[in-house]
Homo-oligomer: A and B are copies of this chain.
């Protein structure tokens, strides 16, 4: 039986990451199925479900951090689309990436913008919110 955290986390994962989130979960099923469960329970069941900060701001903060770190391109793309899924405009996403030029340098911002360009092209019609 799945825990309450798991149920809440799976719903949150679907709300934010949609199909891309399910793909990540599925791709873990052979190498580390336990980690798929932990990924649902902790980030999505425990953290994203917390009150005190709306989902749009959480996703923009994640896009900012992953752009700045610059070493997790697949996750950055998932969360650029995740930001759109929870209602962020393309302009807001682009702005938060540009902001990172100041804090992590121009290469980080450039690579973030090219990730956004790729995601926007793959998902040309953002979900309406």
Contact A107 B72 (CB under 8 A): yes
- Could you mark each residue 51-63 of chain A with 1 if its beta carbon is under 8 Å from any beta carbon of chain B, else 0? 0110001101111
Query: What is the chain B residue whose CB lies nearest that of A69?
Result: B68
Q: Is A110 an interface position by the 8 A CB rule?
A: yes
Residues in B with CB closer than 8 Å to A116 are 31
Specify how many copies of this chain sit in the oligomer: 6
In this complex, the interface size class of chain A, counting residues with CB under 8 Å from chain B, is 35 or more
Contact B104 A105 (CB under 8 A): yes
Q: Is A95 an interface position by the 8 A CB rule?
A: yes
Contact of A28 among B53, B107, B113 (CB under 8 A): B113
Q: Is A74 an interface position by the 8 A CB rule?
A: yes
Contact A65 B100 (CB under 8 A): yes
